[in-house]
């Protein structure tokens, strides 16, 4: 037994020193960039308004919807809804996700040409709180970028840059009237460091080279960590006169568990996202039939909502589980909070629903429809996404972010539908738009658990909150950086001796 222990100790010592340079460099890269993430999160610009703007809709407004659609020969569209704007309630029509939205004045039925850009500017001022600040530039963005990376999910967006000393910039998704992202010079710079050192996005055009180099560094770091663990438990406690070696050993007790978790989950994350099937991301619903025959002229049902504010009044298509015929419906979205109110970062990251409840009315008869958001989510899953109701395992209303559905998805509330499929599909559907917000399968779910609990340490959030969790991780990463620097000094001293 003693001989085996001696062999393991000798091989671990030799391999630990051999991996010291590459593993140490990897540790510096990933630890320094890891600290930038909470730094960027907590010091970046904050929205002045959390809840979306609201609108009051009269029966006269709603009566204009079928008339405008018929006048402009719009018999199919992904979405048609009355929304708030700078000029009051407007009809917004989405015919393609990749194109600009169309807008119509409800009082005159006039189309407001090229108004999507103006709507984006109005929303940018609303969310940023910069009501009178000059606009430096506005662009329609159809691809992700360093300032607006993939984690933001929503595309296309308008990039609205204000003429401020910090170049305050908002990204607006007009389909939802949503703030998709906000940045400034500071946040963009810190984010660039994170993406360059942590994700190596500067090698995006050479994907296999990026994966190979990152894997070599991660495996070196993992090997250095494992051999270091062996040395911790096999070398007897003794007095160490050399200050660098003493501190290297002391710090090793603090960082070996976090380093192992960070590195192992990082490797899993890299491999899954590089070679696994990616089912994540948004998908708008299919176009629906908006022909005149599907609309009636009874809008008296709106009278009971007189004076109330809506998030929107949308035209949607669906049916309940007890129906055989598909209905064209008006959906009233009742807001959860007051427009223009800001919330704390911790509440924003935890997630807050922007909708309190919804009401449905038959577009042909004007009668209240016997269905709800759960029915609508099931309809989307079956008729637009091809899932079978027979495979449905459970349904759940999601009102806060968590391991399965995190902050990157933006939308709350959504309905989660679990299906007993070979891949173990979990669908997250926004009934307000018929949008598939996210799709999670087993392989991605397992990787998500690994990344959430071992890489981001989200298991600490219920115990101490997100901000204190970030402080704990940052302290550990600073200790790891110090550990790495001391290791380099020890290797340099050893090389001089030889």
Going by C-alpha positions, the residue among 220, 199, 222, 223 that lies closest to residue 211 is 199
pLDDT at site 485: 81
What is the band of 254 on the pLDDT scale with cuts at 50, 70, 90? confident
| d(C-alpha 221, C-alpha 223), whole Å | 5
Tokens at 230, concatenated: 């062996």
Residue with tokens 């590459």: 22
Q: What is the pLDDT of residues 424-459, one digit of tens each?
A: 999 999 988 888 998 988 888 888 889 889 899 888
| d(C-alpha 314, C-alpha 432), whole Å | 8
Show which of 337, 370, 403 is a domain's final residue. 370
Q: What is the pLDDT of residues 82-104, one digit of tens each?
A: 999 999 999 999 998 888 999 99
Q: What is the pLDDT of residues 359-388, one digit of tens each?
A: 999 999 999 998 999 999 999 999 888 899
Contact by Cβ (8 Å): 341, 49: yes
On whether both 170 and 312 belong to a single domain, the answer is yes
Give, for 79, the enclosing helix (H) or strand (E): strand 79-83
Most distant pair of Cα atoms in the chain: their distance: 92
| d(C-alpha 71, C-alpha 106), whole Å | 13
Highest mean pLDDT among 22-36, 114-128, 274-288, 294-308: 114-128
Provide the angle, in degrees to the nearest 10, between the axes of the packed helices 2-18 and 20-43: 60
Is residue 384 domain-resident? Answer: no
Q: What is the pLDDT of residues 230-239, one digit of tens each?
A: 777 766 665 5
| d(C-alpha 461, C-alpha 52), whole Å | 27
On whether both 159 and 250 belong to a single domain, the answer is no
Domain count, the chain: 2
Show which of 353, 370, 387 is a domain's final residue. 370
On whether both 103 and 214 belong to a single domain, the answer is no
Give, for 362, the enclosing helix (H) or strand (E): strand 355-362
Contact by Cβ (8 Å): 430, 437: yes
pLDDT, mean over the chain: 88
Going by C-alpha positions, the residue among 340, 339, 353, 352 that lies closest to residue 308 is 339
On whether both 254 and 173 belong to a single domain, the answer is no
* Average pLDDT over every residue of 255-270: 89
| d(C-alpha 217, C-alpha 27), whole Å | 8
Tokens at 18, concatenated: 């051999």
Is residue 381 domain-resident? Answer: no
This prediction's pTM:
0.89
pLDDT at site 498: 53
Give the start-end residues of each E strand in 144-242: 157-162, 169-173, 178-183
Show which of 347, 370, 393 is a domain's final residue. 370
Q: What is the pLDDT of residues 385-433, one digit of tens each?
A: 889 988 999 999 999 888 888 887 888 899 999 999 999 999 999 988 8
Is residue 415 domain-resident? Answer: no
| Domain hosting residue 175, numbered range | 49-184+285-370
Give, for 428, the enclosing helix (H) or strand (E): strand 426-430
Is residue 6 domain-resident? Answer: yes
Tokens at 479, concatenated: 């200790």
Query: Looking at the predicted structure, is the pLDDT value of residue 153 above 90?
Result: no
Is residue 433 domain-resident? Answer: no
């Amino acid at each position: 037994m003693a001989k085996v222990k001696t062999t393991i100790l000798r091989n671990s010592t030799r391999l630990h020193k051999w991996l010291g340079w590459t593993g140490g460099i990897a540790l510096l890269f990933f630890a320094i960039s890891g600290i930038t993430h909470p730094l960027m999160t907590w010091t970046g610009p904050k929205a002045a308004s959390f809840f979306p703007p609201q609108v009051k809709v009269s029966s006269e407004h709603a009566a204009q919807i079928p008339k405008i659609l018929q006048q402009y020969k719009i018999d199919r569209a992904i979405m048609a809804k009355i929304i708030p704007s700078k000029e009051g309630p407007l009809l917004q029509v989405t015919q393609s996700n990749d194109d600009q939205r169309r807008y119509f004045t409800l009082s005159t039925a006039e189309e407001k040409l090229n108004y999507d850009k103006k709507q984006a500017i109005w929303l940018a001022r609303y969310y940023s709180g910069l009501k009178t600040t000059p606009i430096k530039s506005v662009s329609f963005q159809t691809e992700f970028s360093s300032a607006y990376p993939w984690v933001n999910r929503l595309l296309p967006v308008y990039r609205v840059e204000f003429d401020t000393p910090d170049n305050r910039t908002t990204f607006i998704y007009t389909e939802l009237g949503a703030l998709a992202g906000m940045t400034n010079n500071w946040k963009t710079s810190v984010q660039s460091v994170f993406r360059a050192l942590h994700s190596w996005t500067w090698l995006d055009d050479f994907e296999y080279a990026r994966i190979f180099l990152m894997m070599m560094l991660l495996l070196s770091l993992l090997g250095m960590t494992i051999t270091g663990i062996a040395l911790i438990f096999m070398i007897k406690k003794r007095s160490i006169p050399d200050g660098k070696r003493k501190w290297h050993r002391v710090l090793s007790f603090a960082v070996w568990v976090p380093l192992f978790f960070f590195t192992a989950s990082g490797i899993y994350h890299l491999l899954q996202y590089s070679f696994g099937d990616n089912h994540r991301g948004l998908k708008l619903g299919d176009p629906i039939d908006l022909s005149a025959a599907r609309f009636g002229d009874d809008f008296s049902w709106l009278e009971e909502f007189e004076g109330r504010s809506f998030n929107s009044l949308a035209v949607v298509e669906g049916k309940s589980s007890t129906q055989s015929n598909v209905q064209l419906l008006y959906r009233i979205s009742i807001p959860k909070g007051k427009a223009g109110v800001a919330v704390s970062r911790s509440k924003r990251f935890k997630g807050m629903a922007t909708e309190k409840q919804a009401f449905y009315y038959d577009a042909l008869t004007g009668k209240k429809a016997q269905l709800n958001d759960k029915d609508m989510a099931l309809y989307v899953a079956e008729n637009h996404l091809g899932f079978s109701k027979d495979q449905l395992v459970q349904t759940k209303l999601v009102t806060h972010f968590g391991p399965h559905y995190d902050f990157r998805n933006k939308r709350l509330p959504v309905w989660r539908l679990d299906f007993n499929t070979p891949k173990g599909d979990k669908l997250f559907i926004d009934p307000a738009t018929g949008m598939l917000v996210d799709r999670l399968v087993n392989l991605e779910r397992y990787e998500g658990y690994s990344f959430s609990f071992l890489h981001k340490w989200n298991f600490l959030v219920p115990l101490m909150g997100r901000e204190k969790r970030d402080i704990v991780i940052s302290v550990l990463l600073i200790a790891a950086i110090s550990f790495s620097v001391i290791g380099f000094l020890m290797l340099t001293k050893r090389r001089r001796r030889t």
